[in-house]
A and B are shown apart, each in its own frame.
Chain A
């Protein structure tokens, strides 16, 4: 059977992508962010060796608009093109998918009562791409096949933290019922503390973010119990993206081994990273 081998929680701030594309990763203000991912890249490449990455992210007005905004959507294609979310196409290769694996996931999830919107064409954007190039090299191509899994975290009502956790549990069951021997990593993306609207724009809460990093590893039940209100009050309206990390954590075993952790809050977003090995 296929297996979930690792989970990563990571922010997906678009400015990271701009700095990356402009070759500014070693500038003093960016180095603490980018250098933290180098051991994660090596760990994934040399130890975890995933075949597939399920990337849990949200679409910020790239493939979805408020005319139709799915609560949960899954890519089911063999290729996901780099999208244009308003500032042109980034110089990254398109992302390979595995349609057969995605359709298996979809069938398992729907029969497990998670009613996904199924996307046979899906352009991906910073929420998906920034975590991918932080965690994986891409010369000449990406070393893993991908499954984009989009969650509505921008137009309330959002799925609850508990629902996201249960989706993670269902993803684990789906992976383990796949008849291959694929090794699967799950990336939960977004956050950490940030607010982009109102006079509270720029709100950060590093203490709360670090507490989240502690609890996502060793006490996720405490996070599952949080309401959107709790998260937004403490960490900013847009910090609610963090519920997507619970999809990742829900897909992992109860105890995990932490391989890497980082936190940096230079501008308006707490940029967090945690890398967890399943069953360790």
Chain B
């Protein structure tokens, strides 16, 4: 049975969303998934603190959301990009802004690395 995810061959600057990551990120991903409903997006947009208080989030998780610290959410807190993007939709951060932050670049610096940044 070939090894599918090889812990002995870590890929630089990459997190593989394994069961371990999914357990670590369960709370923040569940919170993010709640934003797939319009009424929840409205509630979060209207009062972020009040909306977050209704979910099982740690102090670190709330702080990272408050700080729009996408890199921390993804690298340390087990965020899954397909869930976390739903937070960004409410806060005005698209996939490419979240990506630029993970790379440690400004949005403009990141766009300059692309082949045809008009396709966004």
Contact = CB atoms under 8 A, between A and B. Distances in A.
Interface of A: 14-15, 19, 27-30, 33, 60-62, 65-67, 84-88, 154-158, 160, 195-202, 227-229, 232-233, 237-238, 265-268
B4 A197 contact: no
Contacts of B53: none
A200 B81 CA distance: 13
Interface in B1-55: 2-6, 9, 11-19, 22, 26, 29-30, 32-33, 35-38, 41
Contacts of A60: 82
9 contacts: A61-B83, A88-B38, A200-B11, A229-B5, A232-B11, A232-B16, A266-B117, A266-B118, A268-B96
Interface residues of B, number: 51
B97 to A, nearest CB: 11
B116 A66 contact: no
B85 A199 contact: no
A238 B14 CA distance: 10
Given A15-B119, A156-B4, A267-B117, A200 B14 contact: yes
Contacts of A67: 30
Contact of A200 (B12, B29, B80, B96): B12
A227 B118 CA distance: 34
Nearest to A123: B36
Nearest to B2: A227
A86 B85 contact: yes
Contact of A198 (B15, B35, B83): B15
A202 B18 CA distance: 20
A199 B13 contact: yes
Nearest to B36: A86
A181 B30 CA distance: 44
Contacts of A227: 2-4, 6
A30 B117 CA distance: 10
Contact of A199 (B32, B38, B104): B104
A85 B4 contact: no
Contacts of A29: 116-119
B118 A233 contact: no
Contact of B89 (A66, A87, A265): A87
Given A66-B26, A266-B114, A268-B114, A228 B4 contact: yes
Interface in B78-104: 80-83, 85-86, 89, 95-96, 99-100, 102-104
A232 B119 contact: no
Nearest to A58: B82
A19 B120 CA distance: 8
Contacts of B33: 61, 65
A202 B9 contact: no
Nearest to A27: B118
A28, A67, A160, A199, most chain B CB atoms within 10 A: A199
Contact of A61 (B14, B16, B82): B82
A195 B14 contact: yes
A46 B5 CA distance: 43
Contacts of A28: 116, 118
Contacts of A30: 118-119
Contacts of A65: 29-30, 33, 83
